[in-house]
Amino acid sequence: MTTGALIFAFNNADIDYVEMAAWSAHRIKKYLNIPVAVVTDSTTATQYASFDQVINTDVTWDGHHRYFTDLDKSVPWYNANRVDAYQLTPWDKTLVLDADYVVNSASLSSVLKCNKDFMCHRHARDIRSVDNWDLNYFGTCDFPMWWATVMMFQKSPIAQHIFNSMTMIRNNWQHYRNLYGIAQSQYRNDYALSISLGLVSGHTLITTDIAGSILTLTPEVQLAPGDQHNEFNITWQDISGKTKRGQLVDCDFHAMGKKQLGGIIEADRRAGLFNTSH
Cα separation, 182 vs 40, whole angstroms: 29
Residue ranges making up the domain that contains 76:
3-270
CATH number at residue 27: 3.90.550
Report how many domains make up the chain: 1
Cα separation, 188 vs 184, whole angstroms: 9
135 within a domain of the structure (yes/no): yes
pLDDT of residue 65: 87
Cα separation, 7 vs 25, whole angstroms: 8
Cα separation, 77 vs 187, whole angstroms: 10
* Three-class HEC string of the chain: CCEEEEEECCCCCCCCHHHHHHHHHHHHHHHHCCCEEEEECCCCHHHCCCCCEEEECCCCCCCCEEEECCCCEEEECCCCCHHHHHHHCCCCEEEEECCCEECCCCCHHHHHCCCCCEEEEEEEEECCCCCCCHHHEECCCCEECCEEEEEEEECCHHHHHHHHHHHHHHHCHHHHHHHHCCCCCCCCHHHHHHHHHHHHCCCCCCCCEEEEEEEEECCCCEEEECCCCCEEEEEEECCCCCEEEEEEECCCEEECCHHHHHHHHHHHHHCCCCCCCC
Report the predicted TM-score, pTM, of the whole model to 2 decimal places. 0.94
pLDDT of residue 133: 54
> Within the chain, what is the greatest distance between any pair of CA atoms?
52
∠ CA 81-83-84 to the nearest 5 degrees? Answer: 75
- How large is the C-alpha radius of gyration of the chain? 18
Per-residue model confidence as pLDDT tens digits over 63-86: 888 888 888 889 988 989 999 999
Per-residue model confidence as pLDDT tens digits over 29-48: 999 999 999 999 999 999 99
pLDDT of residue 277: 65
278 within a domain of the structure (yes/no): no
275 within a domain of the structure (yes/no): no
pLDDT of residue 273: 77
pLDDT of residue 64: 83
Per-residue pLDDT in tens (0 to 9) along the chain, 278 residues: 899 999 999 999 999 999 999 999 999 999 999 999 999 999 999 999 999 999 999 998 888 888 888 888 899 889 899 999 999 999 999 999 999 999 999 999 999 999 999 999 999 988 887 655 556 899 998 999 999 999 999 999 999 999 999 999 999 999 999 999 999 899 999 999 999 999 999 999 999 999 999 999 999 999 999 988 899 999 998 878 899 999 999 999 999 999 899 999 998 988 887 766 65
